[in-house]
Amino acid sequence: MEVFRFELLKKDQRTAARLGRLKTSHGEVSTPVFMPVGTQGTVKAMTPEELEELGAEIILCNTYHLYLRPGPDLVRQAGGLHSFTGWRKPILTDSGGFQVFSLSSLRRIEEEGVWFRSHLDGSSHFIGPKEAVAIQEALGSDIAMAFDECPPYPAEKAEVEKAVRRTTAWAKSCVQAKRREDQALFGIVQGGVFRDLRQQSAEALMAMDFPGYGIGGLSVGEPKELMLETLAWTASLLPEEKPRYLMGVGAPEDLLEGIALGVDMFDCVLPTRNARHGTIFTRTGTVTVRNAKYARDFSPLDPECSCYACRKFTRAYVRHLLKAGEILGMRLASYHNLAFLVRLMKEAREHLAAGDFDSWKKATLARLRGEE
- Residue 333, in any domain of the structure: no
C-alpha–C-alpha distance, residues 145 and 85, integer Å = 20
- On whether residue 256 sits in a domain, the answer given is yes
Instruction: Name the pLDDT band for 1 (thresholds 50, 70, 90).
Output: low
Assigned domain for 299 exists: no
Query: Which of 94, 142, 148, 254 is the catalytic position?
Result: 94
Residue 142: which CATH number? 3.20.20.105
Distance between CA atoms of 335 and 186, rounded to whole angstroms?
29
Which pLDDT belongs to residue 54?
A: 98
Three-state secondary structure string covering 186-220: EEEECCCCCHHHHHHHHHHHHCCCCCCEEECCCCC
pLDDT in tens, 152-207: 899 999 999 999 999 999 999 999 999 999 999 999 999 999 999 999 999 999 99
> What's the domain range around 98?
5-269
Mean pLDDT of 356-361: 98
Domain count, the chain: 1
On whether residue 282 sits in a domain, the answer given is: no
Check: CB of residue 105 under 8 Å from CB of residue 119: no
Query: In this structure, is residue 109 part of a structural domain?
Result: yes
Residue 143 has pLDDT above 70, yes or no: yes
Q: Tell me if 352 is assigned to some domain.
A: no
User: Which residue of the set 142, 264, 267, 302 is catalytic?
Assistant: 267
pLDDT at residue 205, rounded to an integer: 98
User: What are the CA-CA distances from residue 86 to residues 7, 41, 275 (Å)?
Assistant: 27, 10, 23
pLDDT for the residue numbered 101: 75
Tell me if 224 is assigned to some domain: yes
pLDDT bracket for residue 99 (50, 70, 90):
confident
Residue 345 inside a domain? The answer is no
pTM of the model: 0.97
Active site (annotated) includes residue 182:
no
- Contact between residue 40 and residue 66 where contact means Cβ atoms under 8 Å apart: yes
Q: What is the pLDDT of residues 284-343, one digit of tens each?
A: 999 999 999 999 999 999 999 999 999 999 999 999 999 999 999 999 999 999 999 999
Summarised one tens digit per residue, pLDDT across range 85-94 is 999 999 999 9
12 labelled catalytic: no
Q: In whole angstroms, what is the distance from residue 42 CA to residue 49 CA?
A: 12
Mean pLDDT of 215-219: 96
Band (pLDDT 50/70/90 cuts) for residue 104 is confident
